[in-house]
Structures are given as C-alpha cells and as structure tokens.
C-alpha cells in the first residue's frame, strides 16, 4: 500500500511520521514543492528579525533525517500539478525534469496549506510574502540593506513582521485597511496593542488602504506616500485548494477543501488536513477557516490513524491563538464580541484588569481580560487577553474550561496553582467566575463601554467612585465624583433616577453598586471601569 502526502510541513509531515509509527510496511511518499520540509513556519518572522539567529534552527528535519528515522520517501522541489482521483494518480514536476511524471497512490493526503492573499493593487508584485523558507531567505536578503519598509496588513503575521523589521533597525509603516489590527480581538482590547506598536516606532496607519506599490514606496488610498525599500504583503491567507478544485473535489464557499470529521474529502481515497481545509466551529458547527499550527498538526496525526484503519474524529475548533507584540502577549479563544453581535447572538461581556501575579510580589503587571458568556446557559463563548505576562496561561485555562464544558460561573471554583510569583489566591480566571456568578445570580448588572452614552442619554447619572487624584488624571465626561469610601455618608448627594457607577477597573464600582442597590437604587456598574472605557474610546 502506498500513501502519498502533498505538502511536507505541519499537517503533512505529522501525518507521515504517525503513519510510519502505525505501519512499518506502508510506502509513504511526501511531495513538497519548496526546497524544505518540517520547517518552523511560525518561527520565520523571528529569523527575519534576528531573534532566531541561526537559519538552521528553522529546519526541524531534512529529507535525509526523515528517511533514516522514519523510512519516509521525502521529495523536495517536487510540485504536484494535478490529481486524477479516478485513476488514483498525482502528476508531479521533479526538479530539472523536462516532463512531469505520474505517481499512483492508494491513499492521498492533501496538506498544501494556505497561500498569501494577493490583493489587486497595481505594483503588488513587488511585495514580498512570508510563507516558507525561500520567502524568508528573500526577506533576509531584501532587508539587509533596506532602511524603510511598509507592511501591508495588520494581522498576526503582519504585526510579527512589523516588530521583527523594527528589531532589524528598519523604519516600518504598518498599513491596515480596517480600524484595527489583529481581527480576533475586539476594539477595546486591541487599543494597547496599537499603542505599543506606535510607542515602538511603527508608523501605524489604520483605516488606510494601499492604492499602489511602486519601485520606491507605496501610495495610500488617501494620496499619501510612504517610502519603502521593502514592501511586505500580509493581507491574510486563503486555503490552497487549487489542486483539489481542479480535480473536482468538493471545495467550500470560502475556498477550503471540504472534509468530514475524519478528514475525508468527497473522494474516498483522498484526505485533506491543515490550513487547506474547512473546519467546524466549536460553538455552532458552522464552517470556518482557522489556519493555525495546533490544529494542522493534530489533523495530520489523526488522518494517519484514519488511513491506518482506526482514527478518531477531529474536534471542532475554538480558534485559540496568541501572538507576541513587542513583549505584549495577545491571546484569544472562541468567538469575539464583534462576531457575536454580527450573528445576532445574545451574550454578556466581562472585562477585568487583574495582575498576572500577586501585586505584592515584584514584577506584577496588569492583564486586560475579556470573557464572553451566553446569558441563556452561562456557557463560555470566548475570551481575550492582553498583557506582558500570564496571558497565555489564562487563555489556555479558559480554552480548556470550554473544552470541558464548564459554565462561566464555574471558573470561580477552579483550583489553580498559587504562589505569589505565579498568580493570585483568587486567580484572574477565578475572578472572572466571581464576576459572572454575580451576574447570573442577578446581584449585579453592568453597562458596556459602548453602551454608556446610550445609558446616560436615557437619563442615568454617572458616578465616579475613584479618588480625587484618579479623577483629576482623567475622567469620563459628565461623571460626578463620590469616592467609594465616602459613599455611605453621601447617599444624599446622589442624583435621583438610575445610576451608572464606575471606578478604574470595576472592583470598587462593584462594591458601590452592591451598596446602592441595597439603598433601593437602580444601578449598573461600568464593566471594566475607566480603563476599558478609555481603551474603547481610544
């Protein structure tokens, strides 16, 4: 029996190695277009930036090492140009050969990944993209003498590239067509990321289109020109389903290869995994594209099991992701508020600003956390985090809680490892559970930063319960200052009618709201306090 695998990196090579472990006698051929297999895609930007100085560190395996250890027949510079499912053949172009050759298969795995989106901009051909080792070499060469760069696209890879080009000493502009970078985050969460980019010298252009690229720079939609010795296109990726589509395999609306939960395409002998395929969303089972390495590797391993005769179903995806931005950790899992709102799905949002570890232990920093909850059943719908430490941990804990079907209020009960250098006795994740539980039980009610104007227009009065010093340093227009410690004695100073209270992050506001409710007042706490409001309004 012969299995052919197209694409020799995350999904493809994971399939190949697992398949070998399961079946010593199978012939396994891996066909890879580029000159490298098993390379660290996710490390490529950091090699361009010099953070990973050794190019060799990116190459986890070679065709030779894979032959020795796994008995794999790995052929680089072998691009597959066609499939024929009826004859079970692939047509491949070996290097230097005049003619393409055909190979037959018993099972075929498509793991061709995704291709960078190339927008229809005049001159875009000059822009470099980053997907493989050759691209990396080209970028290293192009940036060696360069002084200026324009990165088009503020997604994960665009932001990583901007940072890494700054590390290399270039003047970098980052041009993003929408109002924000890093689409998985909601706007109030991404504000500190924007601020960090600007602080670190990136010329950040949001809401800005690129009209044209030419030999010395980029012309923006607003007519401005940015000089650029190097232009990088990082507008996003689309599934590389060209071979599949040409062979008549079913391809989804958004270009992904359609597979069932066993990674089977519409042809019984052909499987597909990784960035190239359509996935099922964990929340609603809808079709989604989630081009991430964890899922690609897992699917690669699982498809080997299926081919070897005993595969488990591949799980639906939450889309858990993280990116580093000049030392900021930016993570998310599940759905964001934008998506919930767009889909008309009801939700509650909770914003907190805890310390990554106990405030009394040196080095504590603040994390901005956001939890999205289904008001009907308290299911966790998603989470986001931004901070300089401990974000990865909290996102992973919440993603695990989601996988385990924990309700949001059950986060209160998680027994997490605590010593002062690692967390808090009430960990930030526990605290999200406390806040949620109060809402579930009807003990507290909140206003979101983007709902505040409407609440005030509807006649609510805004009470700032922080200190005079905090108030003086920046306050919300229209707020009346009554510090929480004076509130009990100054009930009489409060305006009549509904109230919105707020503090810096929500904790004192919570106390104030609990107190005022017991005075019979209709009161809501501004969720996330001044910080979330200010970030949202930034």
Ligand X SMILES: CC(C)(COP(=O)(O)OP(=O)(O)OC[C@H]1O[C@@H](n2cnc3c(N)ncnc32)[C@H](O)[C@@H]1OP(=O)(O)O)[C@@H](O)C(=O)NCCC(=O)NCCS
Q: Which is nearer to a second copy, 321 or 452 (CB)?
A: 321
Show the binding pattern over residues 38-77: x = contacts ligand X (CB under 6 A), - = does not.
x-xxxx----------------xx----------------
> What does 310 bind: a second copy, ligand FAD, ligand X, none (CB cut-off 5 to 8 Å by kind)?
a second copy
Told to check if 87 binds a second copy by CB under 8 A, we report no
* Residue 122, H or E segment: none
Between the alpha carbon of residue 221 and those of residues 177, 226, 409, the distances in Å are: 10, 11, 47
List Cα–Cα distances, 40 to 9, 14, 53, 337, 499, in angstroms: 8, 13, 14, 32, 54
For residues 443-471, b (16+ Cβ closer than 10 Å) or e, as one string? ebebbbbbbbeebbeeebbbbbbbbeebb
Quote the tokens at residue 126: 């000059």
The DSSP code for 217 is E
Which part of the chain contacts a second copy (CB under 8 A), choosing from 88-96, 131-139, 416-424, 474-482? 416-424
Cβ atoms of residues 190 and 180 within 8 Å: yes
Q: Which of residues 265-294 bind ligand X (CB under 6 A)?
A: 293
Structure tokens at 356: 């990554």
Of 41 and 148, the one with the shorter C-beta distance to a second copy is 41
Residues 400-439 vs ligand FAD: string with x where CB under 6 A? Answer: ------------------xx--------------------
Member of 135, 229, 281, 396 binding a second copy (CB under 8 A): 396
Query: Which residue in the set 33, 168, 302, 348 belongs to the binding site for ligand FAD (CB under 6 A)?
Result: 33
Nearer to a second copy, 207 or 486 (CB): 486
> Would you count residue 189 as binding ligand FAD (CB under 6 A)?
no
Instruction: Figure out which of the listed residues 72, 152, 303, 431 binds ligand X, where binding follows CB under 6 A.
Output: 431
Q: Give the whole-angstrom CA distance, residue 426 versus residue 432.
A: 10
Footprint on residues 83-122 left by ligand FAD (CB under 6 A) = 111-113
Q: Which does 276 bind (CB under 5 to 8 A by kind): ligand X, ligand FAD, a second copy, none?
A: ligand FAD
Which of 121, 125, 126, 144 is closest to 48 using CA atoms?
144
**Residue 137 touches which of a second copy, ligand FAD, ligand X, none (Cβ within 5-8 Å per kind):** none
From the list a second copy, ligand FAD, ligand X, none, partner contacted by residue 435 (C-beta under 5 to 8 A by kind):
ligand X
Place of tokens 């324009």: 150
Q: In angstroms, rounded to a whole number, what is the distance separating the alpha carbons of residues 147 and 169? A: 7
Q: Residue 275: which residues within 8 A CB-CB, separation 6 or more?
A: 11, 113, 114, 237, 239, 240, 289, 291, 296
Backbone angles phi, psi at 411, to 5 degrees: -60, -25
The backbone torsions φ and ψ at residue 471, rounded to the nearest 5 degrees and listed phi first, read: -60, -45
Task: In angstroms, give the least distance from the CB of 511 to a second copy.
Answer: 6
How far apart are alpha carbons 320 and 275 in whole angstroms?
15
Residue among 506, 282, 496, 486 nearest 402 (CA): 282
Choose one: 9-17, 311-319, 348-356, 365-373; the region binding ligand FAD (CB under 6 A).
9-17
List beta partners, residue 109: 5, 271
Among 150, 210, 505, 535, binds ligand X (CB under 6 A): 505
Site string for a second copy, 7-46 (x = CB under 8 A): ---x----------xxxxx--------------x-xx--x
Binding site for ligand X (CB under 6 A): 9-10, 13-14, 17-18, 21, 38, 40-43, 60-61, 293, 297, 301, 352, 425-426, 431, 434-435, 438, 505-507, 510, 525
Sites of contact with ligand FAD (CB under 6 A): 6-7, 9-12, 31-34, 41-42, 44-45, 79-80, 111-113, 130-132, 157, 240, 243, 274-276, 291-294, 296, 418-419
């Amino acid at each position: 029996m012969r299995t052919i695998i197209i694409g020799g990196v995350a999904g493809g090579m994971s399939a190949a190695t697992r398949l070998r472990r399961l079946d010593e006698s199978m012939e396994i051929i891996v066909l890879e277009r580029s000159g490298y297999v098993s390379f660290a895609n996710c490390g490529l930007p950091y090699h361009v930036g010099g953070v990973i100085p050794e190019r060799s560190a990116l190459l986890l395996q070679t065709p030779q090492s894979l032959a020795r250890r796994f008995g794999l027949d790995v052929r680089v510079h072998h691009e597959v140009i066609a499939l024929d499912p009826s004859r079970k053949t692939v047509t491949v172009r070996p290097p230097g050969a005049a003619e393409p050759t055909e190979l037959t298969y018993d099972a075929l795995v498509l793991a061709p990944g995704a291709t960078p989106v190339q927008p229809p901009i005049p001159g875009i051909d000059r822009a470099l993209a980053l997907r493989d080792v050759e691209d990396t070499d080209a970028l290293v060469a192009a940036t060696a003498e360069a002084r200026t760069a324009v990165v088009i696209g503020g997604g994960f890879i665009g932001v990583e590239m901007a940072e890494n080009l700054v590390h290399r000493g270039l003047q970098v502009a980052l041009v993003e067509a929408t109002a924000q970078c890093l689409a998985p985050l909601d706007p109030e969460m991404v504000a500190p990321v924007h601020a960090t980019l600007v602080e670190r010298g990136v010329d950040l252009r949001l809401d800005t289109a690129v009209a044209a690229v030419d030999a010395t720079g980029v012309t923006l939609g607003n007519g401005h020109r940015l000089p650029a010795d190097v232009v990088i296109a990082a507008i996003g990726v689309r599934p590389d389903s060209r071979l599949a589509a040409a062979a008549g395999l079913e391809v989804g609306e958004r270009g992904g290869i359609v597979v069932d939960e066993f990674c089977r395409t519409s042809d019984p002998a052909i499987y597909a995994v990784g960035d190239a395929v359509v996935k099922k969303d964990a929340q609603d089972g809808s079709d989604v594209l989630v081009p991430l390495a964890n899922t690609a590797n897992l699917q690669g391993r699982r498809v080997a099991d299926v081919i070897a005769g005993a595969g488990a179903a591949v799980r639906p995806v939450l889309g858990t992701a993280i990116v580093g931005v000049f030392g900021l950790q930016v993570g998310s899992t599940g759905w964001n508020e934008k998506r919930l709102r767009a889909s008309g799905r009801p939700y509650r949002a909770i914003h907190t600003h805890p310390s990554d570890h106990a405030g009394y232990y040196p080095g504590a920093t603040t994390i901005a956390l956001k939890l999205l909850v289904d008001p009907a059943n308290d299911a966790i719908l998603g989470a986001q985090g931004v901070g300089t430490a401990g974000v990865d941990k909290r996102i992973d804990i919440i993603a695990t809680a989601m996988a385990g079907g924990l309700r949001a209020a059950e986060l209160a009960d998680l027994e997490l490892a605590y010593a002062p250098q690692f967390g808090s006795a009430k960990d930030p994740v526990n605290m999200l559970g406390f806040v949620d539980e109060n809402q579930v039980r009807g003990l507290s009610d909140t206003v979101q930063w983007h709902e505040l104007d409407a609440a005030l227009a509807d006649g609510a009065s805004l009470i700032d319960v922080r200190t005079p010093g905090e108030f003086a340093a920046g306050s919300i227009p229209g707020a009346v200052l009554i510090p929480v410690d004076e509130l009990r004695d100054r009930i009489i100073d409060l305006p009549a009618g509904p109230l919105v209270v707020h503090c810096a992050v929500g904790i004192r506001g919570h106390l104030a709201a609990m107190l005022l409710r017991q005075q019979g007042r209709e009161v809501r706490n501004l969720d996330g306090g001044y910080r979330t409001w200010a970030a949202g309004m930034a």
